[in-house]
Amino acid sequence: MPIFVPLVGALFVAVGVLMGLASFTEDNADGMLWPLRIASVAIALAGVGFLVMYRNFYVEPRVDEIAFRTVWGREAVIAYADITDFSVQASGGQFRLTVRGSSGPRLRLNPRLFDISPLLRANEFRQHNGRWPLRGE
Q: What is the pLDDT of residue 30?
A: 84
Q: Does domain 58-129 have CATH number 2.30.29.30?
A: yes
pTM: 0.67
pLDDT category at 93 given cuts 50, 70, 90 is confident
Residue 79 and residue 103 in contact, taking contact as beta carbons nearer than 8 Å: no
* Mean pLDDT computed over 63-92: 89
CA dist list (Å): 132 to 99, 101, 137? 13, 12, 10
Residue 119 and residue 80 in contact, taking contact as beta carbons nearer than 8 Å: yes
Q: What is the pLDDT of residue 111?
A: 87
Q: What is the pLDDT of residue 22?
A: 92
pLDDT category at 94 given cuts 50, 70, 90 is confident
CA angle 126, 129, 80 (to 5 degrees): 30
